[in-house]
Structure 1
C-alpha cells in the first residue's frame, strides 16, 4: 500500500524472497516448472550466505522447489542432490523457523521415490516427515500445507505397496477429518483421499464401490479450474476407465477414455498429459478392436446369406 506521501514503501528482502518462492510453489502445483528454476536461482544467489532465519528459510525453499522442478524434468539424481542439501544445511529440531523448507524437500523426495517405484523408501521418507512435524497441528502456513500433503501421500504409498487395506483405512480417516471443510488445504486433502480410497477399493477388487468413488471425485470437482484439482479429476476418470478395462467392458471403457480426453480439453496441463496420452493410445486400441469385430460380424453375415 502507498504510504501517507503516496509512495509505495520498499519491499524487504525477506518479503521479496518469500513472494518469489510462493510463486514457485504455485507453478510446481500447476506442473508448470519452466519458470521455477530461474526464480529459485535468484533467491539462492542473493541470500545463500545470509544468517537471517527468514532468508535461510527461503533459501531452503529455493533448493527444495528447484529439486522438485528438476524431478519434473526427469533429472532425478540432480533433484535428490538438492533435497540432500536442504537436509544437510537446514534441518535441526532446534530451528523451527526453517522446518517448512525441510518438510517440503522431504515431501518432494517422497513423490520422486514413488515415481521411481521405490515405495519402501518413500514410506520411510513420508513417515519421517510426519514424525518430525506432524505430532501436533502446525500453525497455518507452509509447514501445515507440507504436513497435509505428507498425510495425503501416506495412503498413496500404501496403495503403491499394494497394501490396500491400510490405504483404505488411512484415506477414510482423512475423509472423516477433512470432508466438507471449505478450507483450501482440507479440500485438497479430501479430494486426494477420495481418489486414494477409490484406488484402494480397486486394489481390493471392490469394483462397484471403486467406480462410485471415482465418480464422486468427478462430480464434486470437475468444474474446479485449479490445475491440481483438474489432474485429480483426470486421474479419477482414468481410474474408472481402468476398472472397466479390467472388467472387459469395452464400450463402457471407451466412453470413460473419451471422458478423460474431454475433461483435459485441447490444452491439458502438464500433469494431465501422461493420462491424456494413455487415454488416446488405449482409445485407438479399442476402436481398432471394435472395428475388427464389426468387420468380422459383417463377413459372417455375408457368408450366411450365401
Structure 2
C-alpha cells in the first residue's frame, strides 16, 4: 500500500520532489518505490526526463484503480469496526402476516432510527416456516408465535394482545354492550383456525373458549382470510385485536371474556448459537418499551 500511495502522490504532483515533500520523505527512496512498483506490474507508469514527468496511458488507468484501492483500504478499518458493533450489514427478518397489522411497522421504524446503515430484508412466513428458515440460516430473526424448542432457540416477548370476535356488521351479537362469552358463541357459525397450519391460534381458542357446540363453516390458516370471510357473511371468527386494523367495513369487532386478558403473543426468536454482532445489536433494540 505504501507503493500505491507513492504512485498516487507522483501522479498527482507530476514531480518527484514535490511528491517526496508531500509524503515527508526524501526523493531517492520515493524513486525506488516507483521503480519497484513498475517492475512488479511489468509496465511503465511514467514517462520521465530531466525536465518533466508524465503519466503513460497505463499509468492513467492505474491511477484510477489506485485511488479506488486506497479508498477501500482507508475505509476498511472503519467498516470492520462498524461490523463488529453490529451497525452495518443486511438483516433478514421473518414475520407472520398478522404481525404486519401493527408490530412490524414499529419494528422497522425503530431499526431505521437507530441502525440506519443496516439493510432489512423481510420474508413473510408462518411460524413453522420461520423456524425452518432459522435452522437453514435463511433468516436471522423471526417475528413469530412462541412455540419454540428452548434447547435450540431463544425468544423475547415483543407484544401481547387480546382475542376479539370478528362479526358480520348486521349480526345480532354486534348489539351486545358487554364482552362476549363462550356461551354467546354456542351454535354460531364459526370460521376456525386450521389445527394443522394455525396450531398456535387453534390451541389457544379451544383452550380459552371451550364452546360446547362449535359449528365450523370454514377452517383456514390466515387471519386476513378469516376476516374476509366474516365480511362475506360466512360466520364469526376469533382473531387477535390487531385484526381490526384491516379495515373491513362489513365487520365489527367485539371484546371477548377470556381467562387471560392478552393471550396472543408475538416474540422475537433467534438461534441460541448465533453470535453475530448484527443480530445481537438488533435484539438490543427490539424491546417492548422501544416499540411504541
Q: TM-score, normalised by structure 2?
A: 0.21
Higher share of residues assigned strand = 2
Structure having greater relative contact order (Cα 8 Å, sep ≥ 6): 2
